[in-house]
Amino acid sequence: MSAKTVIDIPSNHPRYASLMSREKIVEGLHTKVVTESGLIAHGRGESLDYFLGEATASFGRAAARAAAARLLSSRHPILSVNGNAAALVPEALVELSEVTGALLEVNLFYRTPGREEAVEAALRKAGAKTVLGVGEDASATLDEIQHARRIVSPRGILIADTVFVPLEDGDRTEALVARGQTVITVDLNPLSRTARKSHITVVDNILRALPVMVEEARALKGKPQAELKALADAWNNSAGLAEALRFMAARLTALAQEV
């Protein structure tokens, strides 16, 4: 299969951003970065982005700031990267890693042959110098998890105090929280298990959320650790999720009056 973009999308197309993100996911499928289920996950996310109005809301920005503060004030933060995240925002992930000092680790639900190397290659192409969780480095296991996400790096997720798990599929978050680790996620679905179990959930499209997190991390970098910790500790995730749901409900109610 070709790894080329399938069609030329004119930049003035009203759905340009959305179509380009689909192209990235489809291209990722061809290069093994994305798994087949990643296509379904992407569609699920896109439908919820309609509810959000395809823009970063104030609660998304506030969560991104708290997340950046938590990463900057952690002892050993790790950015866990799956196929969809690597296909959509490889450069922003590398930038976030550089600004916060959090290392990148490949962690896949569908750890089929060649995929971990493909995700690593996508990150290295985007400028990553160190990528954990690939080949022999993926030599530790988390007993609390039964599926492939249990395979981790002994230098990374195994010993991390904070783990960023964008576009996650469920029970790993609970396991990481049970291990005493702090979990941050990006998820357009405020009702997902990961969104509800994480300590900080950025309800936004990862395409917008990651650049905002980088921006916030740049602004906060260098502030006293006590200030960063206080900012992160002040985040109330349940309240953030409730605000996201109220925002979506109000938006849909207003739209219903226009149709």
- Interaction site with ligand PTJ (CB under 6 A): 35, 37-38, 41-42, 44-45, 48, 82-84, 88, 108-110, 167-169, 186-189, 192, 205-207
**Cβ-closest residue to ligand PTJ?**
45
Q: Is 91 exposed, middle or buried (0-12, 13-18, 19+ CB in 10 A)?
A: middle
Report the nearest approach of ligand PTJ to the CB of residue 21 (Å). Answer: 7
Nearer to ligand PTJ, 137 or 168 (CB): 168
**Smallest distance from the beta carbon of 169 to ligand PTJ, in angstroms?**
3
- What is the closest distance, in whole angstroms, from the C-beta atom of residue 222 to ligand PTJ in the complex? 29
Residue 75 Cβ vs ligand PTJ, minimum distance, rounded to whole Å? 26
In terms of Cα–Cα distance, which of 5, 8, 70, 42 is closest to 223?
70
Using CB atoms within 10 Å of the CB of residue 169, give its burial: 0 to 12 exposed, 13 to 18 middle, 19+ buried: middle
Looking at residue 102, the DSSP 8-state letter turns out to be P
| Structural contact between residues 122 and 92, judged by C-beta atoms closer than 8 angstroms | no
State the Rg of the chain over Cα: 18
Return the number of the residue (73 or 173) whose C-beta is nearest ligand PTJ.
173
Q: Which is nearer to ligand PTJ, 54 or 161 (CB)?
A: 54
Count of Cβ atoms closer than 10 Å to residue 8 Cβ: 6
Q: Report the residue number, 79 or 228, with the smaller CB distance to ligand PTJ.
A: 79
